[in-house]
Structure 1
Amino acid sequence: MTDDTALRSAVTAAYLSLADLLDGAGGAGKEQWDTPSLCEGWRVREVVAHMTMAARYTEDEFMAELRACDYDFTRLSDAVAARDAALPEDVLVAGLRSQVMHHWTPPGGGVRGALNHVVIHGLDITVPLGADPTAAEPAVTAVLNDLTYGGGHAHFGVAIEGRALRATDLDWSYGSGPALSGGAGDLASALCGRTLPAGRLAGDPL
């Protein structure tokens, strides 16, 4: 998946699929919103609040928030996620459905960066909820390629030199050496430095 039109369609589909999943988490299932995510210290609601920031803040508002955090993006992310997690669930879901998010790209990241954003954070949510990945297989494959062949794993402090990675649910593999195998989504999460529930991957951890 390299065409920008296909990538953009995959971004939109991933957001809408996640919105559909979380729309079903209201009422009796509301506790799902408070489930700890794969992002340390964040529940599902903090992850959604973080990944939909652009739907609620203009560029000027974002820059004002960033200045208030001394241009520390991690500090900004934590502050906004903590604050906006208190928004009603339907407002958070509306952010996932927003056309703004479907066309947003991270600074310098382009459409591929947007796809990585929605797929990885979607996994941060679906894995602890015990749900299937909300991104389609081609989208997860594209993210795996970015994290391995594209070198994205280094951003998360993960080393993959001398290791083989094997997806058990689709036709994807990388490298040679001692193998780590599991679902494609779980491999993507591991490449992002996430700690997965026991038994989801086979082989020595990265």
Structure 2
Amino acid sequence: MPVIEVLETRPAGWSEPRSAVSGGSHGNWNGLGGSLHPSIHPEPLPCPVNVGPDRDGDGVPDAQDKFPDDPTETSDTDGDGIGNNADLDDDNDGIPDDYEFLHGLNPDLVDALGDLDLDGLNNIGEWVAGTAANDSRSVLAFDRIDFDAGGSAVLAWPSVTNRIYEVLFATDPARSFVPYAPRITASNNWITVELALPRGQPEGYFRLQVRPPSTSPP
């Protein structure tokens, strides 16, 4: 609770009663040279400040409390009606607070479209991809590409749960890539798929993309 420190003081011309002087007699008073110089060592005295009611008793006055009847919440940074303690995305920029704390972003600042590590992928894209927004070496890419004599390719890459991945294919990287293995759902932190190579194609190119389930096409 806020307090004001009040120091005990006395007027400059105050006088002590004789009972406060040694023995309380005139003789002793005169023996001190006719003067008395007391030393005062005041102690701070707590004085509660009236800052208004606090209905939920959380220590934050109702006038400053976004949730005056909820002792577990006091603020709402993004104004979405969900207190910061319960809100998983305080700034409502689409990136969860836990990820922002872990990767050097600001959970109270809308920074989804920024690019903290200057690698060309914005911060929310880093979260979707499961890469680190503060490390330009952290990128979404195939970790393994193997081909066998039977005309198959084995692809593997690190993944993030609750994401949907899609492998795209093109005969020429300058042309449009088309879905080749759509809707691969990640259930752990690694995905391995075996794909039959297109017949009659002397060469080809794979591309990997990822999206959260909420933005995936049906």
Same fold (TM over 0.5): no
Q: Which has the higher strand share?
A: 2
Structure number with larger C-alpha Rg: 2
Choose between structure 1 and 2 for higher RCO, CA contacts under 8 A separated by at least 6 residues: 1
TM-score normalised by structure 2 residue count: 0.21
- When the two structures are superposed, what TM-score results if normalisation uses the length of structure 1? 0.22
Which one has the bigger helix percentage? 1
